[in-house]
């Protein structure tokens, strides 16, 4: 029985050779997840649709540049992320620099509570966390969404963002710390 990875490689190979069904299958396989990723970054459905279309067109027209030794998902996410970040740069989104004080893993927010801090836990909900994520530096927000919403591995995030694995770890570490700071501020805890 063929694995999912082998099936994707077969689809990519067929798509490279001009097989329209294989190209359509690749688009269907990734368009929903990629659209959700783009939408979380740009916050506008029309812009997200346009960027999705550009992403899929670029992926299909440049299949010869895909390295089968890497994850196809990571490659498509990289194209989508670059397109979305280019769009945001054109809208003059400014990156901010933050100061970090302590490391708290994002898992503390997974069940809606913060161990050892009942006052915060009582007022914490997913809407609060998402609202705070929107205020994060786009680099941190992107890394956090790729990891926790899209379920990409550190390696896939590194490929998607075209950055070293160490940088992925730093972005996630700093993003979690900044998210914690913003959530605590939002619920009235310094």
| pLDDT score recorded for residue 152 | 84
CB-count exposure of residue 23 (10 Å: 0-12, 13-18, 19+): buried
Structural domains in the chain plus CATH codes: 4-90 (1.10.1740.10), 107-186 (1.10.10.10)
More confident residue, 107 or 21: 21
> What's the pLDDT band for 190 if we cut at 50, 70, 90?
low
Nearest C-alpha neighbor of 39 from the set 30, 29, 49: 49
Taking only the tens place, the pLDDT of each residue in 32-46 is 999 999 998 888 899
Q: In the prediction, which pLDDT does 83 show?
A: 92
pLDDT digits (tens, 9 = 90+) for 34-82: 999 999 888 889 999 999 999 999 999 998 888 888 888 889 999 999 9
Question: In this predicted structure, what is the pLDDT of residue 121?
Answer: 46
Output the six-digit token pair for 75: 């490659």
What value does the mean pLDDT take over residues 169-185? 89
Q: What is the pLDDT of residues 141-172, one digit of tens each?
A: 889 888 888 888 888 888 888 889 889 999 99
Q: What is the pLDDT of residue 103?
A: 40
The rounded mean pLDDT for the chain is 78
Give the C-alpha separation, 81 to 34, whole Å. Answer: 9
């Amino acid at each position: 029985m063929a694995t999912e990875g082998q099936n994707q490689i077969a689809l990519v190979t067929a798509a490279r050779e001009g097989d329209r069904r294989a190209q359509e299958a690749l688009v269907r396989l990734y368009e929903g997840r990629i659209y959700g990723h783009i939408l979380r970054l740009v916050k506008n459905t029309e812009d997200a649709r346009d960027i999705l279309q550009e992403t899929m067109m670029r992926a299909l027209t440049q299949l010869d540049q895909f390295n089968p030794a890497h994850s196809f998902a990571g490659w498509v996410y990289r194209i989508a992320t670059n397109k979305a970040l280019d769009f945001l740069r054109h809208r003059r989104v400014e990156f901010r620099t933050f100061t970090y004080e302590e490391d708290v893993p994002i898992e503390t927010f997974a069940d809606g509570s913060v161990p050892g801090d009942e006052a915060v836990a009582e007022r914490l909900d997913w809407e609060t966390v998402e609202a705070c994520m929107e205020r994060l530096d786009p680099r941190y927000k992107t890394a956090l969404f790729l990891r926790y919403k899209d379920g990409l591995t550190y390696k896939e995030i590194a490929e998607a963002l075209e950055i070293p694995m160490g940088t992925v770890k730093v972005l996630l570490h700093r993003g979690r710390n900044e998210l914690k700071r913003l959530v605590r501020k939002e619920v009235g805890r310094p």
